[in-house]
Structure 1
Amino acid sequence: MKPSLVQFLKVFLLLALGRVTNTQVPDQDVLVSLGKLPLDGHFSFHDVSTAAWDFGNLSSFMPAAVLHPGSVDDIAATVRHVFLMGEHSTLTVAARGHGHSLRGQSQAAGGIVIKMESLRSVKMRVNSGASPYVDASGGELWINVLHETLKYGLAPKSWTDYLHLTIGGTLSNAGVSGQTFRHGPQISNVNELEIVTGRGEIVTCSPEQNSDLFHAALGGLGQFGIITRARIALEPAPKMVRWIRVLYSDFASFTEDQEMLISAERTFDYIEGFVIINRTGILNNWRSSFNPQDPVWASQFESDRRVIFSLEITKNYNPEEAENMEQEVNNLLSQLRYMPLSLFHTDVTYIEFLDRVHSSEVKLRAKGMWEVPHPWLNLIIPRSSIHTFAREVFGKILKDSSNGPIMIYPVNKSR
């Protein structure tokens, strides 16, 4: 191999791992001008290292300043100030929610990081009328939204599997979970947004008002504006959840059952799949805590390192509906082709199910196993290609790795 090619590969690998940074520190006059802006909140210029990491833990970019906004006007004033510096300015701005970006998207090398969680002081407002909704700050955590809306017997329709994320953060991506097949991602359940544009203007938008901006910002990765408020559609919240897991050794049966369930008129409320190597544990992984009632184990599941597919499904219900729920669940399960003796289930409250990943996070943090690199890849694969993908990826690559979850969300593209 030629030396020049070796050098190229070394540089490529370093860049791919996100360890090479090219941070331009702004002039002192620029920082002084930021400090002079009339704000309800404040800037930090020295203690900014916490804004130089994210959940991915693959990239680290030190900002020059962190804005702790006391109001939406603070964000608008800061963005406007940077915009007026002109196109030759190298100062960048990044909105940071709970820091769950993977490759430094919530960081700004030598720029300004806006700490959106500082806006959580803005009071949420729940409208429980005929078409219920909640107005909440873009920096509010979804778990707090859930606690507030449950006071009215309501909850958002679509979730992510981890609720300790900000509204603006997930709406800037998509917000996908096991309810997506029915309600669409979180961005399909928003009635209105308030956005600070790249010019520092505060704009209200919806499907009827400033619709281009509305649709661009939802899933726009923050490139079309900073989401500072969202109006989120709500529905009546159930009290209980029947939480079920079944196992498959055959991918064709697994994916065909998923497709059948998301196409049925009466079906489960949450449908998600996992790809598992036996040695990594069947019932539990870092994403959730699942304590089945009356589990039946078979030695064939324990240690042969076969690839196994787990279908996780739930049925929402209220206590007075338990008998009907049992009948519906049993009818649906009778149509599935999972491995005999692999049915596990438990009953939990609605909030316990939705917040299940956080309980595992607490355990992993206590063991020092949370703040580690999290390489992550999301792919949308058409139905026509899923069997080829599974054969090439799950059949050949997976067996050499036992780290991290591999999830399969069945979705309807019409949603």
Structure 2
Amino acid sequence: MAKAQNILLRAYIIILHIINNLVSIIRTKILTPWNNNNTSLLYQTLPLEISTKLSIDTTSIKTASSDFGKLVHDPPAFVFHPTTVSDIVHLVKSSYTACPPFKIAARGHSHSIGGQATVKDGVVVEMSSLVDGGIKVCWSESLGFYCDVGGGQLWIDVLRTTMEHGLAPVSWTDYLYLSVGGTLSNAGISGQAFLHGPQISNVLEMNVITGKGDFITCSKNMNSDLFYGVLGGLGQFGIITRARIVLQKAPTRVKWIRMIYEDFVTFTKDQEHLISLNHGPNYVEGYLIMKKSPANNWRSSFFSVDDEAKVNALASEYGVVYSLEVVKYYDNFDIPKTDEELNEMFKGLNFKTGYIFKKDATFIDFLNRVRTEELKLQSKGLWDIHHPWLNFFIPKSCILEFNQRVFIDIIQRENKSAGPFLVYPMNRKKWDYRMSSVISDEDEGEDVFYTVGLLPSARNGEDLTTIENQNKRILKLCDEIGINIKQYLPRYYETKEEWMMHFGVQWGLFEERKAKYDPKMILSPGQKIFNFSY
């Protein structure tokens, strides 16, 4: 019996040895042709259970080669599908100890515009593969309600989970099918930011894997330098694997109102008034309506057929009009009180008489409004096309000149792109200057700045070229006439000097943090901040 067991054991060892040799041949002979960035070292340094999560199949590579913008095509050498956080730690450490290291980019929902989530000839980490980064709603005496969320989780799932407990985060993006780690690496803004700040201002704690492969828990009081660096840090200092998000009691419904203005000065004055109120709206945004950018757009089909025709007719008459969008949260038993608050809130506003439009919606339907339009466009093949967007922050003192020189003289008169075109104010005091995200430079006495989003789509190469050229003209014009903008989700910087100008006085700290947490410049090369030749 013992002899038979020994024979079986020897046979098992021989078979195992043969398998290991075959694996070695596959690693060195088959996968080596992919080695444009020394990535075959992965197969020599990673444990087998980690290296087997690297994929080179055509579908995975194609998906990871581009992003929502459909402007860049940078195929990675491998796509990594981790199931645990430790998988990512091993991957990053393997790069850090390799000579030379291979580049790594964490990919959430890849809603970037200019290939920021891609990594040519490197490794894209599919954060959605993680199974140990769910959503957990918690409460503590010191923190109140919060949720711990995996970095690869989508905000729509955060909303649905927290709403089961009657709770919700306070700051959002207009589109919820974005990853938590992705928006926190930028800022995360929408019409609630004037009141609660961007999403990065509502984070209590994070788990981060640095460019050295160190797994670090950080907060305002613990490893605070990393905490502030990662928030808005464009993925340069670490991969967010968990974030602790502030929660508050969630409303059940919203009063959703849009008002139309013929005059931009009055439009901005009323926007600024609304965001200054102590008990004002919960959400404020604004956008342009013109011939190619009608009242209803892919952000939401708010207007009825008759109302849209009425508003579009006014826009045709004036060339461009402005829509102020206001939302007030409420619960079913608060309807009379909410209506009274809205009436008081709108006293003194100067929108065009007869051009106020109201709608009632559930809280979830309002927050998830873009998804409804996305599905419509997907069915027509009009969603997965080029999105040459341009987003930036602009000082309040420059917004009137910007309206004339850009909105009117370029966008409206030339009528080359369809928008939508967003413009709405934020309160500067709701942003934390210790974080990496930068906003417009502060002019003396200005507590308000504006965000502008030029969000056209292009169905073909000709349209794409037209829009891209227009974007570059706008940026050049702002530079020439002294409108000091700061790109949000930046993609037009090509040199170190341009990035230094972007970060301004914060550049030195940004560079120091890079040297401290990712000294070999492994992470997020698609941002092209430190990898200029990438």
Query: What is the TM-score with the length of structure 2 in the denominator?
Result: 0.70
2:233 corresponding residue in structure 1: 220
Measure the CA separation in 2 of the matches of 1:94 and 1:355: 28
Q: Pick the aligned partner of 1:100 from 111, 114, 118.
A: 111
How many Å separate the matches in 2 of 1:71 and 1:298?
Answer: 52
Deviation at 1:100, TM superposition (A): 0.5
- Equivalence for 1:139: 152
Provide, for residues 181-202 of structure 1, a one-character-per-residue CA deviation record: whole Å limited to 9, x for no partner: 0100000000000000000111
Q: Secondary structure in 1 aligned to 2:323? A: strand
- Residue of structure 1 aligned with 2:122, choices 111, 127, 131: 111
- The answer to whether the 8 A contact 2:35-2:77 is kept is no
Provide the rounded CA distance (Å) in 2 between the counterparts of 1:76 and 1:270: 39
Measured after TM superposition, the shift of residue 333 of structure 1 is 1.9
Q: For the pair shown, which has the larger CA radius of gyration, 1 or 2? A: 2
Instruction: State the match for 1:381 in structure 2.
Output: 394
Q: Supply the distance in 1 between the matched residues of 2:134 and 2:171 (Cα, whole angstroms).
A: 22
User: CA separation of 1:44/1:264 partners in 2, compared to 1, >3 Å: closer, same or farther?
Assistant: same
Give the deviation of 1:290 after TM superposition: 1.4
Moved more, 349-358 or 121-130: 121-130
Q: In structure 1, which of residues 24, 30, 34 is the aligned counterpart of residue 41 of structure 2?
A: 30
The range that moved more, 325-334 or 171-180, is 325-334
Residues 214-234 of structure 1: CA deviation (Å, up to 9, x unaligned): 000000000010000000000
Q: Which ranges of structure 2 fall in alignment gaps of 5 or more residues?
A: 1-33, 431-534
In structure 1, how many angstroms separate the alpha carbons of the residues matched to 2:56 and 2:292?
A: 47
Is residue 141 of structure 2 the alignment partner of residue 126 of structure 1? no
| Mapping 1:176-191, distance limit 5 Å | 176-191=189-204
- Out of 65, 81, 87, which is 2:94 matched to? 81
Q: Which segment drifts farther, 372-381 or 61-70?
A: 372-381
| Structure (1 or 2) with the greater helix fraction | 2
Q: Any idea what SS the aligned residue of 1:102 has?
A: coil
Contact 1:178 1:272 in 2 (8 A): yes
Residue number in structure 1 paired with 2:269: 256
Could you tell me how far 1:124 is from its partner in structure 2? 1.5
Report if the CA contact (8 A) 1:171-1:186 is conserved. yes
1:19 matched residue in structure 2: none
RMSD: 2.0
Q: Is the 8 A contact 2:377 2:383 kept in 1?
A: yes
Q: Map of 1:10-409 to 2, 5 A cutoff?
A: 25-27=36-38, 29-33=40-44, 36-39=47-50, 42-47=53-58, 48-86=61-99, 88-89=100-101, 91-119=102-130, 122-129=133-140, 131-282=144-295, 284-291=296-303, 295=307, 297=310, 300-301=313-314, 303-304=316-317, 306-399=319-412, 400-409=415-424
Q: Following the alignment from structure 2 to structure 1, what is the Cα–Cα distance between the partners of residues 52 and 244?
A: 24
Going from structure 1 to structure 2, the CA distance change for 1:143 and 1:41 (only over 3 Å counts) comes to farther
Indicate the larger mover: 190-199 or 289-298.
289-298
Q: Is the 8 A contact 2:46 2:91 kept in 1?
A: no
* Equivalent position amino acid for 1:287 in 2: R
Tell me the amino acid that sits aligned with residue 409 of structure 1: Y
The AA in structure 2 aligned to 1:402 is S
Distance 2:347 2:368 in 1: 29
Q: 1 CA distance for matches of 2:311 and 2:384? A: 35
Kindly indicate whether the alpha-carbon contact (under 8 Å) linking 2:289 and 2:312 is maintained by their aligned counterparts in 1.
Answer: no
Q: 1:369/1:293 Cα in 2 relative to 1: closer, same or farther (>3 Å)?
A: closer
For 1:302 and 1:254, the matched residues in 2 are separated by 15
TM-score (norm 1): 0.90
Partners of 1:414 and 1:214 lie apart in 2 by 19
Distance 1:402 1:40 in 2: 46
Q: Are the equivalent residues in 2 in contact too, given 1:55–1:374 (CA < 8 A)?
A: yes
CA distance in 2, matches of 1:50, 1:213: 31
CA contact (8 A) 2:134 2:153 kept: no
**Distance change (3 Å), C-alpha of 1:120 and 1:308:** farther
Q: Secondary structure at the match of 2:243?
A: strand
1:413 aligned to 428, 434, 454, which one?
A: 428
Contact 1:93–1:114 (8 Å) recurs in 2: yes
Distance in 2 (CA, whole Å) between partners of 1:335 and 1:369 is: 41
Distance in 2 (CA, whole Å) between partners of 1:344 and 1:381 is: 29
Post-superposition Cα deviations, 1:7-43, rounded to whole Å, max 9, x if no partner, equal xxxxxxxxxxxxxxxx972347425336645439811
**Displacement, 1:265?**
1.0
Q: Which has the larger displacement, 291-300 or 216-225?
A: 291-300
Identity %: 45
**How far is 1:292 from its partner?**
5.1
C-alpha deviation, 1:373, in angstroms: 1.0
| 2:167–2:249 Cα contact (<8 Å) kept | yes
1:413 maps to a residue whose letter is: R
Q: 1:299 to 1:85 in 2, by over 3 A?
A: closer
Q: Do 1:244 and 1:344's aligned partners in 2 also have CA atoms closer than 8 Å?
A: yes
Residue 319 of structure 1 aligns to which amino acid in structure 2? N
Q: Give the letter aligned to residue 95 of structure 2.
A: V
Q: 1:43 & 1:307 partners in 2: Cα distance?
A: 51
Amino acid corresponding to residue 110 of structure 2 in structure 1: G
* Cα 1:313/1:80, change in 2 over 3 Å: same
| Corresponding residue SS for 1:158 | coil
Distance in 1, matches of 2:278 and 2:256, equals 20
The answer to whether the Cα contact below 8 Å between 2:84 and 2:131 also exists between their aligned partners in 1 is no
Q: Give the structure 1 partner of residue 518 of structure 2.
A: none
Contact 1:275 1:307 in 2 (8 A): yes
Amino acid at match of 1:123: G
Cα separation, 1, equivalents of 2:367 and 2:52? 33
Amino acid at match of 1:119: L
Contact 1:292 1:346 in 2 (8 A): no
